[in-house]
Structure 1
């Protein structure tokens, strides 16, 4: 693969205009530019029109915005990020996004569309039943597959040359899984010539991304204005901690990201397993549990001893044995993660972290359940996580959640039917989409039943107290 710098200026097209990209990938590119390497810049666009106000605001500021970071000790730092040089306006055909993607100077196309934005089932195959996927198979552009396939088709037609497709979401083996989904999508669309072109002209590195980035609240803009002495629209805030590990597999050149702290490696596997199982799964667990006891923020839930203990036990008793040996110090990583979650200055909400549970259970949690059984162990500690989600969704079905639950693949009708069934736990435990082969194991259903009962008992004791 060609890792050399292109001679002329190159564009990094990013799809997904949320806060995370602006606190993470754009920050690294900004640091590189500040260090004197100005060969790369970002063009930013979106698949859906929900980010149009943000894109308009950024366009009015020539792509610049302020990033606020905060340490667990409350030290704040402010930086004007200037790596986004082009804002791509949204239109229903994504015509301007596709036009940017087909240009030869666009050497990397990255994306943050959340875990559910890949529409993969529990076998990690494309979910062909999803209405957005079905629409895109007919030629629309509602998903990352529709957008990327249109871009690559145009690129092939205009001899735009090779391009790296870089997944920046919390999906295990994210580059490989996206690549597989894209190939399945194009096979269903019967585009053999494009498939051949992709094999020769694209690479899809696996990555691990990490920086807690809450949805910006109005007080961020107030603090930014106080610090900068002038108003700044569309600021973003994140924790001070940041990490990015990338498989060094770029087909059309890349920025010298290693100069600004990105870890370029041969395999991201041990890093992503630790991050997904220790950080992401614990995060969700804390958010579900915290919501159930009426808390709004991740830090207050992490600081609640009973909730912290669930996460700590899950990692210590089940995850660390599954992931050992590891090049990482897993106990230290666990402690750092729980410390980060306790950061009261982040004000990250349980609502944000509790989202997309129907993707997170199979992606973040079920692998540990399966591996515990394979090791001859009963995953008592891990089973509390899907138990918490079951009770959380029961509250949702009863319309008792304190906020709107957001999930890209939730089937509201199926959830309501499950809780209307004679034995909702049996329906849940036998859901193959969530629990893969465990859905057929009576001992797993029995374990889940015990764990769900213990969650209800815990809530009764909290309410009684």
Structure 2
């Protein structure tokens, strides 16, 4: 018997992470098999899906250690490639089948359209487009799938977010139910509450966008002319809340951690790894660097990340079941891996979601503890300087952000006091926005960043 894990989002991360776990599970002796049906919401997924279809849904995963040791593995966990069309025909058809027990997705932090209060932003252009009948977000896609599923069999299904979003299952579920309320779809909303679960999980593996030299290297090392290879670091982790409504793969057999509460793991990962990653990407870009390892190996930049974690994050997260000092050091070692060639462009993306999601909680908790978060303030200051470069058209690459309103962002830098306008943005800083002490802190941090940049720039 084969159960289907339908995954929405065919990007590199899914194929180097969740698909790897399911591939490894297929190697285990088990009567119950799980395979993946993969598709996407946007039409930019078409070339990849086509390439996968042409090579029997298989592809090569290259992993590399911090010491540069590379290994290659053919991933065989994809059973079906779901062709894209604007009406999401294949996704809806597959998602409505009884064999589909889990509908999972990787749509990036910005793909949930949540504000700093973790509510759905009804004014988002994509959400407004969707309310008019065109599917373009995870909410519209899942709504269409579940409506058809109810018609076909009405069987329960697990809805699993695999994105770097704190409490990702809870946040998706809350946003989805708010979306259904906007759609006035009370019937589906009630069905979802009774017939779905949305486990929280924490995913971790650094997976850069495939570089031009990956496919030639794969061919040289394996003899395979792979049109859809993917690469990532050797490190991998997946911590999952064991809350699946109609069965799940035995992922614990292949190293995933099934737990009752994901929170301590995800807090450490989001605040230490993800926020530091963004810090290094923004800072590196400002002084003319292209890759994460270059920034991590720059003493001033590494110190910014180290200070942020050590001075502010660790006190906020203590006590914790993890050794946070050790975790910090392992993370920075991973970032310094020159073989990964992870670009600042990839990691710097979606800052407008990462500031409130990864960084603002530490700012708030420091103030709540009576401590001024000087080390943490450096991160939004770096983002401010980074976006000022964007505003002036000086970034060395295209900035990608799913919720960027270009006119509104330009208005920030055209205002009489851009720093105060930035520090007064409730969408970024929640209850701290506009407070005099916070604005002063950000102003000093921006000044410090600009002084540092002037002396450090290549």
Q: TM-score, normalised by structure 1?
A: 0.97
Question: Offset at 1:140?
Answer: 2.0
> 1:344, 1:456 → 2: CA distance?
27
Aligned to 2:338: 344
Aligned to 1:429: 423
Aligned with 1:109 (options 103, 106, 116)? 103
Which consecutive residues of structure 1, in runs of 5 or more, have no partner in the other structure? Answer: 1-7
- 1:238-286: CA deviation from partner (whole Å, max 9, x where unpaired): 0000000000000010010000000000000000000000000000000
Aligned with 1:16 (options 9, 13, 21)? 9
Is 1:34 the counterpart of 2:14? The answer is no
> 1:381, 1:113 → 2: CA distance?
30
Aligned to 2:188: 194
Aligned to 2:113: 119
Is 1:67 the counterpart of 2:61? The answer is yes
Aligned to 1:263: 257
Question: Offset at 1:318?
Answer: 0.1
Is 1:45 the counterpart of 2:39? The answer is yes
> 1:295, 1:321 → 2: CA distance?
31
> 1:230, 1:446 → 2: CA distance?
57
Aligned to 2:93: 99
Over 4 Å off, 4+ runs = none
Question: Offset at 1:139?
Answer: 2.6
User: What RMSD over aligned residues (CA atoms) do the two structures have, in Å?
Assistant: 0.9
Q: TM-score, normalised by structure 2?
A: 0.99
- 1:359-404: CA deviation from partner (whole Å, max 9, x where unpaired): 0000000000000000000000000000000000001111111111
Aligned with 2:292 (options 298, 312, 330)? 298
Is 1:329 the counterpart of 2:323? The answer is yes
> 1:160, 1:66 → 2: CA distance?
37
Answer yes or no: is the 8 Å Cα contact 2:4–2:102 preserved in 1.
yes
Q: Where do residues 163-178 of structure 1 align in structure 2 (5 Å cutoff)?
A: 163-178=157-172
Question: Offset at 1:135?
Answer: 1.8
Answer yes or no: is the 8 Å Cα contact 1:62–1:86 preserved in 2.
no
Answer yes or no: is the 8 Å Cα contact 2:116–2:430 preserved in 1.
yes
Q: Secondary structure at the match of 1:218?
A: coil
Aligned with 2:83 (options 86, 89, 106)? 89
Aligned to 1:5: none
> 1:401, 1:138 → 2: CA distance?
35
Which consecutive residues of structure 2, in runs of 5 or more, have no partner in the other structure? Answer: none
Aligned with 1:456 (options 429, 440, 450)? 450
> 1:158, 1:261 → 2: CA distance?
35
Answer yes or no: is the 8 Å Cα contact 1:71–1:343 preserved in 2.
yes
Answer yes or no: is the 8 Å Cα contact 1:351–1:405 preserved in 2.
yes
> 1:247, 1:281 → 2: CA distance?
23
Aligned to 1:275: 269
Q: Secondary structure at the match of 1:40?
A: strand
